[in-house]
Amino acid sequence: MATKFNIICMSGYRENLQMAAMFAATAAVSGNVVSVFLSMNALRYFVKNNQISPLPEGEIGLLMEEKHVPPFEDLFRQAVELGDAKLYPCSMAMEVLGIPDGELQPYIENPLGLTKYLSDFEDGHVMTF
């Protein structure tokens, strides 16, 4: 039986986005069920044609860019394409940020409110990044 992992991704720092993506991709391709809730400062990096990069929080974030670590966007996409992962944008964050429907990357599901996300994914492990 697959383990369920629920990842709440709200940080806009490169290290947190990278760790969430590495966890999601590894868990998904290992046969686990993964759901990711994208909210707050994390959501803006999933808009189509995004030209902004997340700021590093510290030295590791700077080194990841310097050493060309695979970008978190690619890892999240691979989690969806190669495993059982789904990424859900927060409807409230979309409204606050002024992101219209259809403007997120194609591998992102339809928006959910936090209440719906929590009720749909109440079982499993929860991690916050």
pTM: 0.94
- Averaged pLDDT, 25-44: 97
- Number of helices and strands in the chain (H, E): 5, 4
Give the confidence band of 2 by pLDDT, cuts at 50, 70, 90.
confident
3-state secondary structure 32-85: CEEEEEECHHHHHHHECCCCCCCCCCCHHHHHHHHCCCCCHHHHHHHHHHHCEE
**How confident is the model over 51-101, as pLDDT tens digits?**
999 999 999 999 998 998 999 999 999 999 999 999 999 999 999 999 998
Count of other CB atoms within 10 angstroms of residue 60: 13
> Where residue 35 sits, what CATH number does that domain have?
3.40.1260.10
Q: For residue 90, give its domain range.
A: 4-128
Structure tokens at 14: 């490169």
Give the confidence band of 119 by pLDDT, cuts at 50, 70, 90.
confident
